[in-house]
Amino acid sequence: MSSRRASNSDPNTADFIGLEYHADERVIPARYRWEGSPTEGWQIQREGAHHLDLGPGFRLLRTDRCGVCSTDLDRRFLPFPLPQIIGHEIIALDGASRRHVVEINASHEARGIDHTCPFCLRGLATHCPERRVLGIHDLPGGFGPWVLAPEAAVIPLPDSIGDDTAVLIEPFAAALHAAETIAPSAGERVAVLGPRRLGLLVIAALAALRKRNGTDYKILGLVRRPALADWALRFGADEVLPAPDPESESEPCAEFVIDTTGNPLGLEAALVASSREVHLKSTHGQPSAGLRHTTELVVDELSLQAWPEDPGQAKAVVSGSPCRPNDRPRVAWLASAPPPAWLSDRADVYTGKDPNALLKALEAKPMGLPRVDLAVVDDEAGIDAVVRPRESEEISLVRPRGQIFTRAGGALTGPLLQALHHRKLRLSTSRCGDFGKALALLVADDELAQRLPALITHRLPASRLSEALALARTPECIKVVIEHAETQQPSESTETRAD
């Protein structure tokens, strides 16, 4: 596979053959031409026809290498258009061949443009509804030889961080975000279910934070394949146990269980293993544990738990829910039982049975963030309806990092609601992490930075993307990285196919 810029001196034009991922999982080459500038925006042509317009704030970079992750393998299940050049765990090079990593959410803030976006202004830039996501939603990704990167999300790499560590920055930042979100205390146990591509990074992040902060918690690896036990111990687990069977009656093994399996059955197994909280990282795009929209929960970083029966606890939940400290909380009450009398004194309450109607009411009012802070529903169908009240749009009634509570007005049919109500478990989620925090930890902890490259078990040239995706699914593979050749000249062949 080869590529070229139209001119070595022109940083605002690129012509290349890119390998596209299709809904049937085929990888097929297509010709692209990009023209524009960071100030004027970009026009993307595909196969000689107009394909996509991008506004200002994007910078043209050459892809050096890109890791394959579970999201890439399950891309066909995600609700974004295909075909697309996918891949988002990248090292990219500027015109002087300086190395950079790129945060993947192209929000207004990440593009460095003037805006009045209430999400970007409230610290929710990674959840901006108008964002595009590198290699996942619209933006061509790192399995192609060029990327258009949001200018403020392009982060230079220090010389002390090698390429094999740097290409793991994106998933390591996500792993670190999970570890910091659950924040285990001394004496508690944290189990990582599915220690492979992402799970091993979560174990490494937990171990690194424990070392840095001096907090003595125990890290467990829960494995289905014995071959992964040594990997989990190598990356910082104190003990390895067999992953529980979702149908078993086994006792919980940890207060916190982090599901990194990328498998719809992983959540049910995590519910069995946890005594307090399950933290979901999997974005497989499929129904799980009685819910259709578990991936969307993770994308929006929403939490689930039972509505407190004790009024004092319920009041504390409502008081602690606003996105900003001095905001008055907003509550959507969709449960069959009426809201408690005290609620309207503490929050703006929106009642009804139709989440879409409530969302329209919020959008019609002049308010900063047209979402509620928390919602109360009866059952799994209520959760799904709140998470995606409009099937055609990736919008939740609840703001990003908000909360959904269930009153279980009906039968507790699914394993998730049974765990929330009978065992008082909580489900939390997290998605992308802070690259700055991840880099700072890696720079400060040389042992950690040297350990991570062991995850890369296979390398292939970008021209063999089909093979790389198939290889990533095999048991013997932990991490595949594809590498792009140096930019070639127009005289060289551009007709190499993927299959």
Q: Averaged over 120-138, what is the pLDDT?
A: 95
Give φ, ψ of 309 to 5 degrees.
Answer: -75, -30
Whether residue 287 is preceded by a cis peptide bond, meaning omega within 30 degrees of 0, is: no
pLDDT at residue number 10: 61
Q: Residue 69 and residue 72: Cα distance in Å, rounded? A: 5
The pLDDT assigned to 409 comes to 67
- Average pLDDT for 99-126: 96
- Contact (CB, 8 A) for 84 and 20: yes
63: enclosing H helix or E strand: strand 58-67
Q: Is 409 helix (H, G, I), strand (E, B) or coil?
A: coil
Q: What number is the average pLDDT over the span 359-363?
A: 94
Hey, is 178 helix, strand or coil?
A: helix
Taking only the tens place, the pLDDT of each residue in 231-278 is 999 999 999 999 998 887 789 999 999 999 999 999 999 999 999 999
Q: Are strands 254-259 and 13-21 parallel, antiparallel or unpaired?
A: unpaired
Chain position carrying tokens 């610290």: 123
Q: How far apart are CA 25 and CA 304, in angstroms?
A: 33
Residue 482 has pLDDT above 70, yes or no: yes
For residue 356, what are the contacts with CB-CB under 8 A and spacing of at least 6? 389, 390
The partner residues of 344 in beta bridges, in order of sequence, read none
Using CB atoms within 10 A of its CB, is residue 341 exposed (0-12), middle (13-18) or buried (19+)? Answer: exposed
Which residues, 6+ apart, have CB-to-CB distance to 274 below 8 Å? 191, 252, 254, 255, 256, 257, 419, 425
Contact 238, 207 (CB under 8 A): no
Q: Please compute the mean of the pLDDT values over residues 22-44 and round it to a whole number.
A: 96
What is the rounded average pLDDT of the residues 91-95? Answer: 96
pTM: 0.92
| d(C-alpha 1, C-alpha 117), whole Å | 40
Chain mean pLDDT for the chain: 92
Using CA of residue 198, residue 295, residue 84, residue 439, what is the dihedral sign?
Answer: negative
Structural domains of the chain in order of their starting residue, each with its CATH number: 3-167+456-483 (3.90.180.10), 168-299+430-444 (3.40.50.720), 302-428 (3.40.50)
Q: Per-residue pLDDT for 422 more than 50?
A: yes
What token pair was written down for 101? 């990593």
Instruction: Specify the pLDDT at position 4.
Output: 36
Beta-carbon contacts of residue 332 (< 8 Å; ≥ 6 apart): 350, 351, 352, 355, 358, 372, 374, 375, 376, 386, 397, 398
How do residues 141-192 score in pLDDT, each as one tens digit?
999 999 999 999 999 999 999 999 999 999 999 999 999 999 999 999 999 9
CB 208 within 8 A of CB 178: no
Q: What is the pLDDT of residue 365?
A: 87
SS3 content of the chain, % helix, strand, coil (to 5): 30, 30, 40
Confidence of residue 326 (pLDDT cuts 50, 70, 90): confident
Give the DSSP letter of residue 145: S
**Percentage of the chain with pLDDT > 90?**
87
Query: Which tokens hold the place of 13?
Result: 């034009």
The token duo for 449 is 């930075």
CB 69 within 8 A of CB 89: yes
Q: Does the pLDDT value for residue 362 go beyond 50?
A: yes
Residue pointed to by tokens 């790389």: 468
What is the CB neighbour count within 10 angstroms for residue 162? Answer: 13
**Angle CA 285–197–481, to nearest 5:** 100
Element (H, E) at 33: strand 27-37
More confident residue, 243 or 497: 243
Q: Identify the pLDDT of residue 485.
A: 85
Note the pLDDT of residue 486.
64
Take residue 235 and report the two structure tokens written for it: 């990356």
Count of all residues that appear for the chain in the document? 499
Phi and psi at 163, nearest 5°, equal -60, -40
Torsion of CA 443, 445, 451, 453, to 10 degrees: -10
Is a pLDDT exceeding 50 seen at residue 499? no
With a CB cutoff of 8 Å and minimum separation 6, the contacts of 276 are 255, 256, 425, 426
Residue (of 197, 187, 173, 251) closest to 71 by Cα position:
197
Task: Provide the Cα torsion 276, 330, 394, 381; round to 10°.
Answer: 60
Q: CA dihedral defined by 164, 166, 171, 174, rounded to 10 degrees?
A: 150
Distance (Å, whole) CA 378 – CA 337:
9
